[in-house]
Amino acid sequence: MRYSVGVLGATGMVGQKFIQLLDGHPWFKLTSLAASERRIGKKYGEEVDWVVSRDIPEIARDVEMVPMDPKYVDADIVFSALPSGIAREVEPKFAEAGFVVASNASAYRMAEDVPLVIPEVNPDHLGLIEVQKRKRGWDGFIVTNPNCTAIVLVLSLKPLMDLGLQNVRVASMQALSGAGYPGVPSLAITDNVIPFIKGEEEKVEEEPLKLLGRFDGERVKFANIKVSASCHRVPVIDGHTEAVWVEFNRSVDIDEVKRAFESFEPLDLPTSPEKVIIVREEPDRPQPRLDRDAGGGMSITVGRIRKDGDNSVKYIVMGHNTVRGAAGASILNAELMIKEKII
């Protein structure tokens, strides 16, 4: 069975990445593209400046764009690539109307009754769906994926939890595509690093606590760890790189940490990579140009794993911010819900 899907906010960079990843998907058939009022009634291929790759996929080229209104969207599942402010207004309308909303937006990530999910990390948090439907009286529901920086970080932290993880410090070097299109002005970022991204550090410090927390049947009890983040924009097109320092409640060695990374099991889902975490031994890896497309952009790559004290380790982790960190994450969430018979 193939499920009909729509994209909300189809013309932006993440919306375009959704369309690219849905092209040829074995479980999903693209049936609706919803966009802003000025684009309604126009064909996607004639209206959109396609920046994700050279060619607009045929599945979208001749699709006539519709309003962001449940009455006009023909789909079982809608993927939301909306800005947070718009998502806060639009997504509940679709959930109330019975749609499954797989959202990349930040609007509801930290809501107590909305699942914030990375399928390999906390699939049991999908249990919040029934809590959400009961509390809000919706026929449908909203499931979110994390911030693009947080998802790369948390995928690397999850296998370390069993080693007694306590404290995390992270300094991010974030790609331009994370700012959307047209993104950062060229004269601001060329020959430069911008050491501030509005709202980013708060997301990176808060979302991991929910993602790594425990679902008790009614709510998520946040993980008892501390995350401190400093986020920076760098002149790289795709791929967020993060320098991470982790502290444990006991002494750990490098081989133990490497084994934890390498033993992190993938899922049997169409968008899941063969390896969730790729460990590189070279002293100058990972690098965005060399490693961002690993696993079709769904793997993260870890390298430079070093001791930082008896109880602490430091490493570099890198992942594709618009694939694993955005559209691919929402699609993987939808696949998990199908596998778990939630959809």
| Sign of the Cα pseudo-torsion (197, 121, 304, 307, in order) | positive
Q: Do residues 92 and 230 share a domain?
A: no
Q: Do residues 125 and 155 share a domain?
A: no
Contact, 41 vs 64, CB < 8 A? yes
Q: What was the pLDDT predicted at 1?
A: 82
Is residue 54's pLDDT more than 80? Answer: no
Confidence of residue 50 (pLDDT cuts 50, 70, 90): confident
- Active-site position among 25, 125, 240, 320: 240
Q: What was the pLDDT predicted at 85?
A: 96
Determine the Cα–Cα distance for residues 123 and 108; give it in Å rounded to an integer. Answer: 18
Determine the Cα–Cα distance for residues 327 and 330; give it in Å rounded to an integer. Answer: 5
Q: Do residues 252 and 128 share a domain?
A: no
Confidence of residue 49 (pLDDT cuts 50, 70, 90): confident
Q: Do residues 158 and 289 share a domain?
A: yes
Which pTM does this prediction carry?
0.97
Is residue 26's pLDDT more than 90? Answer: yes
Question: pLDDT tens digit string along 125-142?
Answer: 999 999 999 999 999 999
Structural domain total, the chain: 2
Q: What percent of the chain has pLDDT over 70?
A: 100
**231 catalytic residue (yes or no):** no
Q: What was the pLDDT predicted at 314?
A: 98
Average pLDDT value over all residues in the chain: 96
Q: Do residues 84 and 140 share a domain?
A: yes
> Chain-centre distance of CA 323, in angstroms?
7
Q: Do residues 120 and 157 share a domain?
A: no
Question: pLDDT tens digit string along 152-209?
Answer: 999 999 999 999 999 999 999 999 999 988 889 999 999 999 999 999 999 999 999 9
Q: Do residues 304 and 258 share a domain?
A: yes
We report the CATH number of the domain holding residue 95 as 3.40.50.720
Determine the Cα–Cα distance for residues 54 and 24; give it in Å rounded to an integer. Answer: 17
Range of the domain at 65: 3-147+326-339
- Active-site position among 25, 148, 231, 320: 148
Q: Do residues 81 and 169 share a domain?
A: no
Q: What was the pLDDT predicted at 325?
A: 98
We report the CATH number of the domain holding residue 283 as 3.30.360.10
Residue (of 240, 171, 168, 233) closest to 198 by Cα position: 233
